[in-house]
Amino acid sequence: MHLQRLEIQYLTQFRRHWEEIHAHYPEQLENLSSASLFAELRLFIEARLTEKKPNWEDKRHGYKLSSGVGLIEYQFGGAGEAEWRRHSLSGRLGLPYEPTCLDKIFAGGRLTGT
């Protein structure tokens, strides 16, 4: 009961002060209220902007095959070309091998295999 009475006294005094400020400085109080709302909005936006964004290390995990070999290494290190020559008609006809993973990476795309 005692704590409740103290809380009521505090809130009554707070209300009295607020009413005085409102009576004498209504425009400033409105400005502060708007500024406070914008400050909360700014904090909310900043929190959303600083949430973890995928960085290069996160993105590059999509640039690996299930075997763990990176697509760049696979396509430009010879394994991709060797497999292409064995399994494609174009490869068996001697047409030039054309790796494409860098095109997709530079275009900002995620890769999911070859």
Read off the pLDDT of residues 63-76 as tens digits, 9 standing for 90 and up: 667 677 777 777 77
The residue with tokens 């914008």 is 38
Q: Is residue 111 part of a domain?
A: no
Residues 45, 74 within the same domain: no
> 42 and 79 share a domain?
no
What are the tens digits of pLDDT across the range 78-112?
787 788 778 887 777 777 877 777 766 677 666 55
Q: How many residues does the chain have?
A: 114
Q: Which residue has the higher pLDDT, 31 or 59?
A: 31
Report the sign of the C-alpha dihedral through residues 92, 93, 98, 100, in that order. negative
Residue 40 pLDDT more than 80? yes
- Give the residue-averaged pLDDT of 26-37: 89
Using a pLDDT cut of 90, give the percent of the chain over it: 23
Q: What is the pTM of this model?
A: 0.36
Q: Do 65 and 34 fall within a single domain?
A: no
* Same domain, yes or no: 6 and 40: yes
Which residues neighbour 97 within 8 Å (Cβ) at sequence distance 6 or greater? 80, 81, 84, 85, 91
Task: Answer whether residue 113 is part of any domain.
Answer: no
Note whether 9 and 38 are same-domain residues: yes
Domain count, the chain: 2
Q: Burial level of 71, CB count in 10 A (0-12/13-18/19+)?
A: buried
Q: How far apart are the first and last CA of the chain?
A: 73
Q: Is 86 helix (H, G, I), strand (E, B) or coil?
A: helix
Measure the CA–CA gap between 13 and 11, rounded to whole angstroms: 5
